[in-house]
Amino acid sequence: MDVGGLQRPARTSRGRGNSSRSTPPRLYDADRLGHNEVPVAATIYVNDLYVERVFAEETAASIRGLRPWITNELEHNGLRAASWAA
């Protein structure tokens, strides 16, 4: 296996316990999403391996105008595995 193009990841201030932060950075602005004016849809997978359904539903409920599609027909990779369903 050729891995010649790969490089060791650079150490950052966030890595390996060196962080001066006590909390992780915000991934999104919850207040702004709560005031969203654009219709949006999201898939919530019932048996998602990576995201607990209750957390996904809570997040979806906090985004104004979001219409969730909750399904047990697909897994976390549903768009890749069955793009026809989305």
Cα–Cα separations (whole angstroms), residue 50 to 20, 25, 30, 40, 75: 27, 19, 21, 22, 10
Q: What residue type is 9 in one-letter code?
A: P
Q: What is the mean pLDDT of residues 62-83?
A: 78
Per residue in 1-52, pLDDT (tens digit) is 566 667 776 666 555 555 566 777 888 888 999 999 999 999 898 888 888 8
The structural domains of the chain, with segments of one domain joined by +, span 30-75
Single pTM value for the model: 0.57
* Alpha-carbon span 29 to 36, nearest angstrom: 11
Radius of gyration of the chain (CA): 18
